[in-house]
């Protein structure tokens, strides 16, 4: 049992940190959000709900300025105040905002939040274990190397999740009669809306795929569905 201690201790610590992080995140979301009620946006939510044979799709408004959408660990869907204001100002259409909801619903439906708990815990345990090992041979930089290795792994897993959620959203939007055009048009303007400069970073370091690659994947799906 003792020989497994260097692995079990980091694993237990990582799990504890993750649970603490989730608890804090949910508390902040509870304190800073309310259910989104907007008659101009409701028809899009109704179409998504009908496509999924659900009575309704609930969306919460998270009172922070960055332009973003997110799926909470408990399955709730959030749009930030910053994103919602882009809709109210006319910079984003109801259908484009709906594509964000569909994407976040994909993360929930595909179990990405639950899988992220396992990934996060494992990666932190691996980071600590590798750091201790590397530091024996390369003092001073061992933990830096371990952090780089686990960050690359986390980014790759996150990119895979994003592609899967994009595909789910494309299928849902198509079934709802909205189509993928709003999904594509939002991606085309998203970096400008959010002030994101991620395009300057190497693709393999990004937690999200490059915008152009996501658009190409969605359009590829659409063409394949048209041929079938």
In sequence order, what DSSP letters do the residues of 103-132 get, joined into one string? HHHHHHHTTHHHHHHHHHHHHHHHHHHHHH
Range of the domain at 155: 2-227
62 phi and psi angles, rounded to 5 deg: -95, 120
d(CA 88, CA 221): 30
* pLDDT per residue as tens digits for the range 75-107: 899 999 999 999 999 999 999 999 999 999 999
> What is the pTM assigned to this prediction?
0.72
* pLDDT per residue as tens digits for the range 128-156: 555 555 555 556 555 545 555 555 555 55
Percent of the chain with pLDDT over 70: 63
* pLDDT per residue as tens digits for the range 168-183: 999 999 999 999 999 9
Domain count along the chain: 1
Say whether 138 sits in a helix, a strand or coil. Answer: coil
pLDDT at residue 207 is higher than 90: no
Higher pLDDT, 66 or 143: 66
Per-residue model confidence (pLDDT) at position 199: 45
d(CA 97, CA 79): 9
Higher pLDDT, 24 or 61: 61
Per-residue model confidence (pLDDT) at position 201: 42
């Amino acid at each position: 049992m003792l020989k497994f201690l260097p692995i079990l201790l980091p694993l237990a610590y990582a799990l504890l940190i993750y649970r603490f992080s989730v608890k804090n995140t949910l508390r902040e979301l509870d304190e800073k959000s309310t259910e989104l009620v907007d008659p101009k946006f409701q028809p899009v939510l109704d179409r998504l709900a009908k496509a999924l044979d659900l009575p309704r799709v609930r969306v919460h408004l998270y009172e922070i300025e960055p332009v973003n959408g997110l799926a909470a660990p408990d399955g709730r869907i959030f749009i930030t105040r910053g994103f919602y204001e882009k809709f109210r100002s006319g910079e984003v259409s109801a259908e484009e905002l709906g594509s964000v909801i569909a994407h976040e619903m994909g993360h929930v439906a595909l179990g990405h939040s639950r899988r992220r708990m396992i990934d996060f815990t494992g990666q932190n345990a691996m980071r600590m274990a590798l750091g201790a090992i590397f530091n024996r041979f390369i003092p001073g930089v061992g933990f830096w190397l371990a952090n780089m290795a686990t960050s690359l792994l986390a980014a790759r897993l996150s990119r895979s999740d994003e592609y899967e959620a994009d595909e789910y959203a494309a299928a849902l939007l198509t079934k709802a009669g909205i189509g993928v055009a709003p999904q594509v048009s939002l991606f085309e303007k998203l970096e400008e809306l959010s002030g994101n400069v991620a395009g300057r970073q190497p693709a393999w370091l990004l937690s999200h795929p490059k915008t152009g690659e996501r658009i190409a994947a969605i359009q590829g799906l659409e063409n394949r569905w048209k041929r079938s």
